[in-house]
Structure 1
Amino acid sequence: MTLSPTSAGGLAALEARLRQDLAWLDLPAKRWVPPQTRDGLPVLDVAIIGGGMAGLAASTALTHLGIEAPIFDRAPAGLEGPWATTARMETLRSPKQLTGPALGLPALTFRAWFEAQFGAGAWEALDKIPRLQWMDYLRWYRQALGLDIRNGHSVTRVTPRGDGVVALAVAGPDGDNTVYARHLVLATGRDGLGGPTVPPFVRDLPRNVWAHSSDEMDYATLRGKRVGVIGAGASAMDSAATALEAGAESVDLLIRRADIPRVNKGKGAGNPGLTHGHLALPDEWKWRIRHYVNVQQVPPPRGSTLRVSRFENARFNLGCPILDVTRRDGELHVRTPKGTFVLDFLIFSTGFRTDLFARNEFAALAPHVRLWRDRYTPAAGDEDTELSDSPDLGPVFEFQEKTPGACPGLDRVHCFCYPATLTHGALSGDIPAISEGAKRLAQGLAATLYREDAEQHFAIMQAYVEPEVFGDEWTPAPPPAMEPAR
């Protein structure tokens, strides 16, 4: 759907309302965290890695509480997150009415942004939010709030220290620098603590004949090629459709299951009780809920699936797990229980794994992070690698040490990305509850920073001398008359 703005001043009026709403709420609060330095350098209150939706929401929530929280993102401005780079869906899966990162501010919602430009009638006619329009909204979100995002800055090493700071090695436009922060938030997305998952046989294939669905890639290079897509989830459908639209000769979806999942069980569990109650559940219930969602799997969106099936040269091959792949004369021979497919290119829509050891920037902390496998052993038959690999986080999304005392300062690093889901619920990556997650993170960090500086804050209170009463507001009464002595 292509729309033209109905009012040139619509966004200006919305931004004026947003400023008024913030003023009425007295937001943002004044800075209150005592400044610090290390090695002659200023120490940030909080640093955030990642300027996508989660990073934006976290920075805003912290700023509103009077806490400095700049964002470091390696992408150019306006290309943070996956929406304009590796995401290939036409529209978002989430219902349009979800308020996303608005943090309870009506003027900060996608709906307010959309209606300000296109009107209420267009909103009523809108089915799903177009992907690139969502990215436009996030760009506006950043601009309207004046967030401090430092683009083109890659954090190459994270080193927790025992003196109350985390050291960041940052490569940016001005060269390599060291940045100190009292706390670090990892808002690094779906693959934020690891990378794409691919089957072992991929190691034997040259990189020019396969890609993961999360790779940045020009799908025009697939024109005239026979493409295989492994998987049946949303990213598989989006990758298959993009390849077909780019002129692929054919696309074979190779689907391990005998059928494609039909029901999104996670959607059926979504309510404020789960949002706010998951953290306090016993381990058994946390595991049971998340494992059930994983086993049932999330179906691809109907629209994404129809986008593929409208092509006659798209084939849905069910019950086709890959047994092996060999390369002969430049062709890929993909053997399955239902026969061998001869293809030119493979796309793996096989999800992501959590593996801190796979990320060089986390080398200093990877051996020390406590995982759920260190905390909980599921019943036989309920094993789940994704859950076992998840970090066992504290109440402020903080990493915890596997061996107490082995990595001082590790709890100053906070995991506000998808791998936090088992501990905290789906609050740190998906649209429905991102505001609740950002508020939990910000409030917890505010409490932590205040506790760490309690002595200084007490001294500030003791030194506070601004009077509210001046002594001229009353006239002292004369003393009562003395009774004569008897």
Structure 2
Amino acid sequence: MTTSDSASSSLAALEARLAQDLEYLGWPGRNWMPARQVGGESVLDVAVIGGGQAGLAASVALAQLGIRAVVFDRSPAGSEGPWATTARMETLRSPKELTGPALGLPSLTFRAWFEAQFGLEAWTAMDKIPRLQWMDYLVWYRRVMGVDVRNDTAVTGIHPLPDATGVRLDLRTPQGERSVLARRVVLATGRDGLGGPAIPAFVNALPRSKWAHSSDEMDYGRLRGLRVGVVGAGSSAMDSAGTALEAGAHSVELLIRRPDLPRVNKGKGAGVPGLTQGHYDLPDELKWRIRHYINVANVPPPHGSTLRVSGHANAFFNFGCPILAIEPKGDSMRVSTPKGDFEFDFLIVSTGFKVDWPNRPEFDGIAAQVRTWKDRFVPAPGDEDQELADSPDLGPVFEFQERVPGECPGLGRIHCFCYPAALSHGTVSGDIPAISDGAKRLASGIASLFYREDFDHHYANLEAYAEPELFGDEWTPALPPQERN
């Protein structure tokens, strides 16, 4: 048997073990949801927008509770999420031991999948999980858990209906434009879930062909021989710089506002079960306090990503170096900073993401109605934070809430299970460490809401339930004591 045959055999054995585990646990759960139709049109229980790790975990957690979900993703199969497209790190940033979207199933973990194919020795030798291997694992996860993903399908409109019917989604599919109705919708749309890249104003001085955001899909081979500037020093900046250097850039200058790189990932230090489970129940002041502290402290780039850049002699770390102005200069540009002027042929801005409703036309029907934190909370002087202020103020099941009660009935049927939920719920809706906790919370909350809405249906089923436990012949009625011999 070849090594490849052996790996296939071991993976098949793992899949058989997982199937047995799922059978033992009764997963997926028994279907208890009433079928709904409106005007002859079938209504989905839940539509999940986004087939990355958050969308997969949400769908599987719902299935455990007997709730059917259909996942829509605009990307081709195998390209969901950033891993095989815009992510440029060599490995994941999370420790390999984290169980991610496995939802408490040992046989569904990355480690089980990896060891089945490559063995314990290879697992022990691994430092962090290779990025593309994580994508391979998610493809396997989708297959073995039977997640219903409709690829190449973009959601172009989201319309909550006022009569408790649900939410109508406009879709662009390979077969043309269509729409579906869903009782509830889950937005599992990732880091830029309610917006897009945060683009600094200074790039307006440049033609679009001369700059890119670190999240753009781009062939870095085009940077070969060019003088490249990278704005920022976070994880994505290091990944972009490293990719540019490996693609043969003439030089890469990192322009870093801070006088030094942060050394400690405070968010990692905050990741305890108490915070994961209890963040939502904290008072507003404490929610803001912890998220603002992490934002201000900033997250350092990973050790390996930084070495990936600094190992090149043509990489330069420029601290205390914010951009003051940019001026086009023929085919290049002059970039002015407090440390002097730089000349670049291309600029990469790694400036993060922001809530930006106008950047997402599919949200036009709800954007003005969503209540945000700035609508209800005023931080202490000096603790202002635009990212937090723009965050949606979510209910206990990640649901949007109306800015003005009564003006957008049905808005609460849309659940924000992506990064902008972090202020309301903590980081349980996208990042690997607590994605299973978030998915379980979402699924159990949606199950509760469905039960409440369908109470009359379930009560009628209770009244109509007639399967006997006893048939009346299991005993003989006793005679009165005085009649017994």
Shared fold per TM-score greater than 0.5:
yes
1:264 equivalent in structure 2: 265
2:452 equivalent in structure 1: 451
Cα distance in 1 for residues equivalent to 2:445 and 2:285 = 25
1:216 equivalent in structure 2: 217
Q: Secondary structure at the match of 1:119?
A: helix
Deviation at 1:362, TM superposition (A): 0.3
1:155 equivalent in structure 2: 155
Cα distance in 1 for residues equivalent to 2:358 and 2:38 = 28
Deviation at 1:204, TM superposition (A): 3.1
RMSD after superposition:
1.3
Question: Which residues of 2 match residues 69-468 of structure 1 at below 5 A?
Answer: 69-164=69-164, 165-468=166-469
Deviation at 1:481, TM superposition (A): 4.7
Letter matched to residue 118 of structure 2: F
Cα distance in 1 for residues equivalent to 2:118 and 2:384 = 49
Mapped contact 1:5–1:118 kept (Cα < 8 A):
no
2:36 equivalent in structure 1: 36
Q: How many residues align?
A: 481
Deviations 1:442-468 (A, max 9, x none): 000000000000011000111111111
Letter matched to residue 242 of structure 1: T
Mapped contact 1:155–1:170 kept (Cα < 8 A):
yes
Letter matched to residue 44 of structure 1: L
Deviation at 1:235, TM superposition (A): 0.2
Q: Which has the higher mean CA deviation after the structures are superposed, 326-335 or 404-413?
A: 326-335
Letter matched to residue 228 of structure 1: G
Mapped contact 1:5–1:117 kept (Cα < 8 A):
no
Q: Which has the higher mean CA deviation after the structures are superposed, 242-251 or 3-12?
A: 3-12
Cα distance in 1 for residues equivalent to 2:143 and 2:253 = 43
Cα distance in 1 for residues equivalent to 2:207 and 2:469 = 75
Mapped contact 1:56–1:142 kept (Cα < 8 A):
yes
Mapped contact 1:428–1:437 kept (Cα < 8 A):
yes
Deviation at 1:358, TM superposition (A): 2.2
Mapped contact 1:6–1:118 kept (Cα < 8 A):
no
1:477 equivalent in structure 2: 478
Letter matched to residue 26 of structure 1: G
Q: Secondary structure at the match of 1:170?
A: strand
Deviations 1:48-93 (A, max 9, x none): 0000000000000001100011100010001100000000000011
Cα distance in 2 for residues equivalent to 1:470 and 1:344 = 86
Deviation at 1:244, TM superposition (A): 0.6
Q: Secondary structure at the match of 1:70?
A: strand
Q: Secondary structure at the match of 2:433?
A: coil
Q: Structure 1's 314 and 4: CA in aligned 2 closer, same or farther, altered over 3 A?
A: farther
Deviation at 1:27, TM superposition (A): 1.2
Cα distance in 2 for residues equivalent to 1:5 and 1:74 = 34
Mapped contact 1:232–1:260 kept (Cα < 8 A):
yes
Cα distance in 2 for residues equivalent to 1:120 and 1:6 = 14
TM-score (norm 1): 0.97
Q: Structure 1's 400 and 109: CA in aligned 2 closer, same or farther, altered over 3 A?
A: same
Letter matched to residue 53 of structure 1: Q
Deviation at 1:5, TM superposition (A): 8.0
Letter matched to residue 12 of structure 2: A
Deviation at 1:479, TM superposition (A): 4.6
Cα distance in 2 for residues equivalent to 1:5 and 1:439 = 36
2:67 equivalent in structure 1: 67
Deviations 1:198-247 (A, max 9, x none): 11122232110000000000000111111000000000000000001001
Identity in percent = 67
Cα distance in 2 for residues equivalent to 1:431 and 1:101 = 7
Letter matched to residue 446 of structure 1: A
Structure 1 residue runs of 5 or longer lacking an equivalent are: none
Mapped contact 1:44–1:69 kept (Cα < 8 A):
yes
Deviation at 1:478, TM superposition (A): 3.4
Q: Secondary structure at the match of 2:432?
A: coil
TM-score (norm 2): 0.98
1:45 equivalent in structure 2: 45
Mapped contact 1:30–1:66 kept (Cα < 8 A):
yes
